Amino acid sequence: MPGQSTGRDPKFWERAEEFLPERFVDSPIDFRGQHFQYVPFVGERRACPGLTFGIVTVEFVIANLLYWFDWKLPCEGAIGRDLDMSEVNGLTVHKKIPLHLVPIPYSLIHHSRDC
């Protein structure tokens, strides 16, 4: 089963050729190969052997970044509402204006004084 053509089949997807990640919000369809209208890593015996390793690695890296650093915007006084969240379409969708954050090493001593 060719996963590329199945993932773009109009009988399974409305506007199948468009990148619409919101179609998966509150959807029972997952990327692990159990739903054959969406098979990015193929399913069954031909499943990607690195799928589980990749997911675990990404989760581990993100968890460590969140655990070991506090994050702030580079401009003093800037708040989340000030961010431009517009996107640019290409091979993938990315932010029109990149998000820049400043990592601040987490210090247990510094945070224990705030309590």
Residue-level pLDDT at 47: 66
On whether 115 is known to bind a ligand per the annotation, the reply is no
Q: Which residues fall within 8 angstroms of residue 63, CB to CB, at 6 or more apart?
A: none
Residue-level pLDDT at 38: 62
Q: What is the gyration radius of the CA atoms in the chain, in angstroms?
A: 20
Percent of the chain at pLDDT > 90 equals 17
Euclidean distance between CA atoms 111 and 113, whole angstroms? 5
The model's pLDDT over 47-72, given as tens digits with 9 standing for 90+, comes to 677 878 888 999 999 999 999 999 99
- Longest CA–CA span in the chain (Å) reads 59
**Type of residue numbered 40:** P
pLDDT-derived band at 111, boundaries 50, 70, 90: low
Give the bridge partners for 105, in sequence order: 69
pTM of the model: 0.50
